[in-house]
Structure 1
């Protein structure tokens, strides 16, 4: 899988943050802690980066992505009791709208860290990727 090492490193940072803070904080607290941990691990990122959303080549608005890591991976954070399919669909839609091959959805609000690699199935880099029923993983 392309970017496997990078996504693994990001997930490791999220696990460190979750194991240190536990669940129960607001999303912004996890975002700040994750920024510190990713910086310690030497990852380059932009936080709260405003990105344009396109529809058939037209710029139709913007959305702030929680993190854009190494100019490759969109990272969307949540602090919910449990991730649901709607959150997975949202992250997949962001990958499509930003024309990125892969993103990560991470939830700090559950008792165990939840994460999911999400793929833009329309991106040329993912033409061979088949995943009709993605599941949310728990650590």
Structure 2
């Protein structure tokens, strides 16, 4: 019997898939009730509530210092949501996710050493069209 080969070049391995799946489920619940068109801060509050209710530790607006040449700078970078000290969740309410939005969360992942992130745009008719899962 020949075993199927895994194509690592095209296969994505999502670290913390259980956590991200549950966060996405919570985001869908928030979007289903509120719909698009509100301020990002409203979605952040509601999503933090839902994720916490699901049993996860959630930090809102967690400061993200930048280390540069041995110096620490606290210049106002903040993670929208930091779940279980494992997943960074960046929220948007924009017409379309742009490459700069993806670059932002990749930068946050790099600065923290965290491997998993979610970029969620609540300004979409169907929330599934506004979710990008990122694994580094």
| Shorter-chain TM-score tier | 0.7 to 0.9
Question: Of the candidates 105, 108, 112, which is equivalent to residue 122 of structure 2?
Answer: 108
Distance 1:75 1:57 in 2: 27
SS of structure 2 residue aligned to 1:10: helix
| Aligned residue in 1 for 2:65 | 52
TM-score (norm 1): 0.79
Is residue 117 of structure 1 aligned with residue 129 of structure 2? no
Q: Higher Cα Rg: structure 1 or 2?
A: 2
Name which structure has the greater RCO, CA cutoff 8 Å, separation 6+: 2
Is the Cα contact below 8 Å between 2:15 and 2:135 reproduced in 1?
no
TM-score (norm 2): 0.81
Is the Cα contact below 8 Å between 1:24 and 1:109 reproduced in 2?
yes
RMSD: 1.5
Question: Of the candidates 64, 72, 75, which is equivalent to residue 86 of structure 2?
Answer: 72
Which has the larger strand fraction? 1
Deviations 1:35-57 (A, max 9, x none): 12112211111111112223465
